[in-house]
Amino acid sequence: MNKLDKQIKVNYSNMLKIDKRYQDLVTNIVCYLRGKLNSVDAEEAINDVNDILLGAQSRGEDLEVLVGDYEEFCDNIIDAYRGSDKWYSLKSYFYDFGGISIYMLVFFMALDIISSIPTVKPLTISNILNMKYTISLAPFISLIIALVFSIGIVKYICTHPGGNEKGNKKEAIMSFIIIFIVLSAMVASTFFFRKIEIYTFSNIPVIIIIAFLVCIAVIGANVIEFIKARRMDKIKFRRFI
């Protein structure tokens, strides 16, 4: 378990210590912070908020009165983390989606390789393992579509934590429609952007290409996790000076 996972576990445990009548308030705060900050900053901010709420609760204060408008309450905390960094949002996407984007790209490339197999003539194991593979623009476009969709869903869920039963049904229908549109766009982009070729591996077995892509994915994801860990260490150090 890495440092971020441990912090999430601690935050969840502390949230459960807050009186049940304030659980909706706590949920709204947590979702709002996670939707506006990167994962490392969000969990540190949630940790600070838990300390504030638990302290107030021990003194018998009304947490609803203490917080007031939870969005304004959170915005003050968010501003402290964002500061004057104009690139904060872009960096947040790197922190939160950098690792998974590498895996997704490898996945889309693997699908592209598999979908190219029927073009091999004659269709034998030897020819499949040694077939030519051309990297096209299609996997990269699929990655961009998937990332935009994923980021949009995460941000929407975090900024719209509640909802009534009627609203939930509408959201479920809209989610189905959006997913259908996204999948259709990805399929269409595969056929269109496959024509835009980037590089052809003519003398390298496909199995070696796949192994190379997997290595890149593992190394890249570990580098991003290391950056997250360093970021968390800096935040904790700053809290004690």
Distance of CA 238 to the CA centre of its chain: 26
Torsion of CA 143, 148, 154, 156, to 10 degrees: -160
Q: So what's the pLDDT on residue 241?
A: 42
pLDDT at 36 over 80: yes
131-189 pLDDT, tens digit each: 777 888 888 888 888 888 877 777 776 666 555 445 556 666 776 777 777 778 777 87
- Of 8-17, 39-48, 193-202, 217-226, least confident by mean pLDDT is 217-226
Average pLDDT, the chain: 77
- Of 19-33, 101-115, 174-188, least confident by mean pLDDT is 174-188
More confident: 215 or 40 = 40
Cα-flanking dihedrals φ and ψ of residue 144, to 5°?
Answer: -60, -45
Residue 154 makes CB contacts below 8 A (sequence gap 6+) with: 35, 96
93-99 — which CB contacts under 8 Å span 24+ positions?
93/151, 94/224, 95/38, 95/39, 95/40, 95/224, 95/227, 95/228, 95/231, 96/38, 96/39, 96/154, 97/147, 97/150, 97/151, 98/220, 98/224, 99/220, 99/221, 99/224, 99/225
Q: So what's the pLDDT on residue 159?
A: 64
From residue 58, give the alpha-carbon distance in Å to each of 52, 68, 76, 151, 171.
Answer: 10, 18, 23, 37, 38
- CA dihedral sign of residues 219, 88, 157, 66: positive
pLDDT at 230 over 70: no
Report the amino acid identity of residue 157: I
Torsion of CA 79, 144, 186, 194, to 10 degrees: 170
CA angle 95, 210, 130 (to 5 degrees): 160
64-103 pLDDT, tens digit each: 999 888 889 898 888 888 877 777 777 777 777 777 788 7
Tokens standing for 178? 């959006």
